[in-house]
Amino acid sequence: MAQSLPGPSDYALTPIKFSRLTQRGVILGLSASQLVVVGIGAASLVLCLYASGGSALLAATPVMVICSVLAWVGVGGRTLVQWLPAAAHWLWRSSGGQLQYRRRIATPRPAGTLALPGDAARLRQWLDRETGAVMVHDPHQGTLTAIVEVSHPAFILLDPAEQERRVVGWGRVLATTCRSGRLASLQLLERTLPDSGKGLAEWWSRHGTHDGTWTSTTYAELIDRAGPAGERHATTISLSLDMKRASRAIRAAGGGNRGAAAVLRQEMATMLAALRSADLTPSGWLTPGELALILRSAYDPAVAGALERHGDLGRDLATAGPVAVTESWGSLRSDSAHHCVLWISEWPRTLVYPGFLAPVLLSSGLRRTFSLLYTPIRTDQAARDIRRKKTEYISDAAQRQRIGKIEDAQQSAEFQDVLQQEADLTAGHGILRATGLVAVSADDPDELERALSAIEQAAIQASCETRRLWGQQAQSFAAAALPLCRPV
């Protein structure tokens, strides 16, 4: 008797679908910047006609042509007017000499600062005496961040029922983040690192036979060289407290960084309980030495394995940053590697199963860091935002119908996404804004381009779309490769 193969409906896994990135403009699909440029062109035409009559059309034509090109000509998925802010910021930083960073090795840094370049130079460390954890204070953003390392079994190797159970558990962790109301963001960071062989060497030192024979010597040498050959994945979760939202609780706890640390400790305890409920194993909040090792490994991956294997080397947070960084329009070069950051601009538009990111996360031979930055939105703000979007969609649809313009499928799908978010919010779920970044590292520019091509192909297999972040590689690298809840 023939036995039919199991289909997707026979599994316990529930497929999921993501909301689309909205492409809707303010009026008739035009964004605010496009409307400004079009308005400048129209205003120049009206002024010329009012001042000199029809003979002034020749004078107004160049302005109108330039405005039309800026508003409607696209490059790399954006119109030219949308490139103007990034290009202007790039030119401003170039003129100020901010694209290159060189550490002043003879000048000591102020106590308590992190040795990071660019916008991250303002970050300060705060050591919590009760938990021993290091907290990173951003005085400009008004945040205080703590990081915990999490271990878990390989998700892709679990059976469908166990995968579904873990997905539901992770959803409860994110729901806990939404209900807090005092958290600025939560970052999930997954790093692919060359295995230092530390675990294997420790096993050999404890259980091996060290009798000096040829077999024992050869085996010890093989274990000593086995470290850089493998890969391992390390996962951290960063929790960032919004000190403005939590100002009342901070004042009640004593005020200042000490009060903020007390409030963050409450959120850390809640997060640990939620992680354990989701069958994740937190290994304790990072100490200054452990955070220093992560920061140093991000900018100098060539020495990451050696630092991890050899005790206390490289675990001083005051010297954990890079020695030299040079930023170009499309990539970043740090101490021993070239880096490039990709933004996941489109998540799967069709139903997919929870392990859909496996091609991106598990492709071998590539050094990459995958970062998911969750920004929780308060329930009242989410409700107002959904009502505003519904009103704008209905108004745009009425306007399109009045002028005889056909509504396309993209606009209808975005409106359905808004209705789905409203239904989820009414059912008691939270709303989070998720940003996905992939930082790719390589030893030279050619290898970096090959690695980027491989990651882009893996993203296509995962039904995602990626875009290179031109002109903002330094800031995006700090957001993608460092567990500090940095904004993009």
Kindly report, residue by residue over 435-469, the tens digit of the pLDDT: 999 999 999 999 999 999 999 999 999 989 999 99
How many degrees, rounded to 5, is the angle at CA 172 between CA 170 and CA 177?
A: 100
Are 27 and 174 in contact, with CB atoms under 8 Å apart?
Answer: no
pLDDT of residue 196: 61
Q: Which residue has the higher pLDDT, 142 or 59?
A: 142
441-479 b/e (C-beta count within 10 Å ≥ 16 → b):
bbeeeebbbebbebbbebbeebbbbbebbbbbbbbbbbb
- List Cα–Cα distances, 426 to 174, 379, 429, 450, 466, in angstroms: 17, 10, 7, 46, 32
Q: What is the mean pLDDT of residues 97-116?
A: 82
pLDDT of residue 394: 83
What is the Cα–Cα distance from 334 to 116, expressed in whole angstroms? 12
Question: Confidence band (pLDDT; 50, 70, 90) for 226?
Answer: low
Are 160 and 243 in contact, with CB atoms under 8 Å apart?
Answer: no
What is the Cα–Cα distance from 426 to 429, expressed in whole angstroms? 7
What percent of the chain lies above the pLDDT cut of 90?
28
- Kindly give the pairing relationship between strand 134-138 and strand 143-151: antiparallel
pLDDT of residue 263: 94
Per-residue pLDDT for 5 more than 60?
Answer: no
Question: Confidence band (pLDDT; 50, 70, 90) for 397?
Answer: confident
> Tokens at residue 459, please?
């993203």
How many degrees, rounded to 5, is the angle at CA 110 between CA 128 and CA 146?
A: 30
Per-residue pLDDT for 108 more than 90?
Answer: no
pLDDT of residue 243: 93
For all residues of the chain together, what is the average pLDDT? 84
Classified as helix, coil or strand, 206 is: helix
According to DSSP, the residues that pair with 212 across neighbouring strands are none
CB within 8 Å of 141: residues ≥ 6 apart? 184, 487
Q: What is the mean pLDDT of residues 40-45?
A: 84
Q: What is the mean pLDDT of residues 11-31?
A: 72
Question: Confidence band (pLDDT; 50, 70, 90) for 373?
Answer: very high
Question: What are 122-131's pLDDT values in tens digits?
Answer: 899 999 888 8
Number of other CB atoms surrounding residue 220 within 10 Å: 16
Number of other CB atoms surrounding residue 338 within 10 Å: 21
What is the Cα–Cα distance from 77 to 67, expressed in whole angstroms? 18
Residue among 167, 146, 163 at smallest CA distance from 155: 163
Question: What are 128-172's pLDDT values in tens digits?
Answer: 888 889 999 999 999 999 999 998 888 888 888 888 888 888 888
Question: Confidence band (pLDDT; 50, 70, 90) for 3?
Answer: very low
> Tokens at residue 480, please?
């993608």
Classified as helix, coil or strand, 152 is: coil
Residue among 67, 114, 101 at smallest CA distance from 291: 114
Question: What are 274-313's pLDDT values in tens digits?
Answer: 999 888 899 889 999 899 989 998 998 888 777 777 767 7
Pick the most confident of 12-26, 79-93, 251-265, 408-422: 251-265
Are 288 and 134 in contact, with CB atoms under 8 Å apart?
Answer: yes
Q: Which residue has the higher pLDDT, 42 or 11?
A: 42
DSSP classification of residue 318: G
pLDDT of residue 316: 82
Question: What are 334-349's pLDDT values in tens digits?
Answer: 988 999 999 998 888 8
Helix then strand then coil, in percent of the chain rounded to 5, is 50, 20, 30
What percent of the chain lies above the pLDDT cut of 70?
92
Q: What is the mean pLDDT of residues 205-211?
A: 76
